[in-house]
């Protein structure tokens, strides 16, 4: 599986900023497919849960890149949130997976 991990500095869910302790974004292409999967795991400074369902997510990375897309909330417990992509990740080009040297093949 090819993948790339980004450290997330800023997270906005449905136009509401989420204050973070830590977050990362993983973009992956499972073996035998051209489709991309993506997921953000975030640890917020507040323990308020996110509402179940589909959310519009915007992410700003340590590399000063911006990504956005629709994501489904998988889990939101004690400030730990898992958002799984429910469509394309805007701002990410799948070609980037083939250019990285830190990939699992």
Q: How many domains does the chain have?
A: 1
CB 44 within 8 A of CB 79: yes
**pLDDT, average across residues 64-91:** 97
The torsion angles phi and psi of 98, rounded to 5 degrees, stand at: -75, -20
With respect to residue 75, please indicate whether it lies within any of the assigned structural domains: yes
pLDDT at 99 (0 to 100)? 52
Q: Is 81 exposed, middle or buried (0-12, 13-18, 19+ CB in 10 A)?
A: buried
- Residue 99: in which H helix or E strand, if any? helix 95-99
Q: How confident is the model at residue 104 (pLDDT cuts 50, 70, 90)?
A: very low
**pLDDT, average across residues 96-104:** 58
What residue numbers bound the domain in which 67 lies?
2-90
With respect to residue 100, please indicate whether it lies within any of the assigned structural domains: no
With respect to residue 13, please indicate whether it lies within any of the assigned structural domains: yes
Q: What is the pTM of this model?
A: 0.89
Quick check: helix, strand or coil at residue 93? coil
pLDDT at 102 (0 to 100)? 42
With respect to residue 84, please indicate whether it lies within any of the assigned structural domains: yes
Count of CB atoms within 10 A of residue 70's CB? 15
With respect to residue 32, please indicate whether it lies within any of the assigned structural domains: yes
With respect to residue 103, please indicate whether it lies within any of the assigned structural domains: no
Q: What is the pLDDT of residues 36-64, one digit of tens each?
A: 999 999 999 999 999 999 999 999 999 99
């Amino acid at each position: 599986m090819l993948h790339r991990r980004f450290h997330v500095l800023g997270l906005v869910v449905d136009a509401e900023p989420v204050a973070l302790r830590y977050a990362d974004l993983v973009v992956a292409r499972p073996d035998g497919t051209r489709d991309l999967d993506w997921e953000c795991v975030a640890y917020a400074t507040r323990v308020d849960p996110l509402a179940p369902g589909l959310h519009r997510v915007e992410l700003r990375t340590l590399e000063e890149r911006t990504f956005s897309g629709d994501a489904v909330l998988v889990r939101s417990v004690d400030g730990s949130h898992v958002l799984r992509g429910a469509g394309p990740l805007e701002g990410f080009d799948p070609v980037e997976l083939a250019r990285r040297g830190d990939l699992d093949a």
